[in-house]
Structure 1
Amino acid sequence: MIDITKIRAITLDLDDTLWPVWPTIGRAETALQAWLATHAPSTAVLSADAELKKAVRAEINARYSDRAHDLSFLRLQSIRALLQQAGDPQHLAEPAFEVFFAERQRVDLFDDALPALRFWSQRYPVIALSNGNADVHRVGIGQHFHASVSAQSLGVAKPDLRIFVAGAAAAGVQTHEVLHIGDDAHADCVGALAAGMQVAWLNREGHDWTHGDTRPHLEVRDLHALCASWPDYVA
């Protein structure tokens, strides 16, 4: 169990913790494809080929392996590579990416997300700690966050110890005074445990723990169950 008396701040994952990420990415891909069909039809034809697009992304990931933490950069380069291959103007890469990125911020929150955010943000500094490129302010939940630390901004991704240390620093506390909450057993839980944080694993799908004997302090199926650790929480 977590010890709430020792918590002075909360770091919180975003994708698949507060909202399901793949429906969001799917809508963003659809918006990008529609934009390309109007502004770069030849690129749209290539982009509609799932295997070709996958191969282009794999090549970009390999070429820029030192930028694996920066999903926005990799997405932009993938769009640029498709434009180049199709013979369309390269300057279209930036506006095309902005179409994708804007739609990527339109998320459908899990039902338990807002009640939990309201509850925690009234009691602690809450820090977004994400490997993704969602912007809590563009998503519309920025008022619940004290700060955001992303892999893109810091240059390292979870489970790297440095991103957890940066999250604690953003809250003005030590890592052992932080409760980290996230859905990814490896990136979130293993990383935060190594940083000395208390850890709550949000295991919505009921996956098995396969990362050794050191386990999260608490495993829950939803955020209501986690908030119930506080005696004054009312769902």
Structure 2
Amino acid sequence: MNANTENDELLFEVRDSVATIALNRPARRNALSYALRSRILEYMGKIREQPAIKAVVLTGNGGHFCSGGDIQGMQAALTAPQGRIRLLGAHHFITEMLNCERPVIAAVDGVAYGAGMGLALTADFIVASPRARFCSAFLRMGLVPDLGLMHTLPRLVGLQRAKEIVFTGREIDAREALALGLVLEIAEDGDVLAHAQALGARFAQASGPALGMAKHGLNTSFESGLSAALATEAYAQGIAMSSPEHQDAVRRFLNKELPLYQWQKK
């Protein structure tokens, strides 16, 4: 599936079981406009309706992931109520990205600044090129982090380190990002998109419902107590046990056949 048109600022492609969404504003380092957010939401809705899609890759074209919010759209001064309403309009976008019931992989090359860093951290995994750079640049502009960054960042690096990253607005290179746990792996050959798509393809034979329910349980684990977590586990496992994927896995095990879904190092 290919929904692209000439000079489109957002490219969408489905190859085999992996959907790829690419920001395509290279002259602006893929600055994230409100129109782009709406388009990403549109494609995420399409992905939700297609069970054959097992993973999503989010990337940016032209050597950069995303330089942040589109500052040209910030020139008009806003009142506090207007600014709040504008951000409330982005909350649906954040929840849709974080709660997508497929593994989401951000392929980050070049800069992931400000809202671009927030966007990258809505993914489950980040694969970075050696030249990737992350920065919570909001305080440089007299702003607070948005696109969910105040939620996602401390969960990855801890509260004290998250405060240091946000308060200083300093740049983090790929190596430090890997050491901090922001990044899952570095594509040493620089072909970060190919690495991310290959990672996504490894979920092709996984149970979509089981992946989605496991992701929901893990995403909510920091906010739920033990009793709520166990209740979620019980409901999810009941559904999973009745699935054809589980029944096929049991049959294969009893027949001494290899599982359909295996995570092998490639």
Greater relative contact order (Cα 8 A, min sep 6): structure 1 or 2?
Answer: 1
Tell me the TM-score normalized by structure 1.
0.30
Between Structure 1 and Structure 2, the one with more helix by share is 1
Tell me the TM-score normalized by structure 2.
0.28
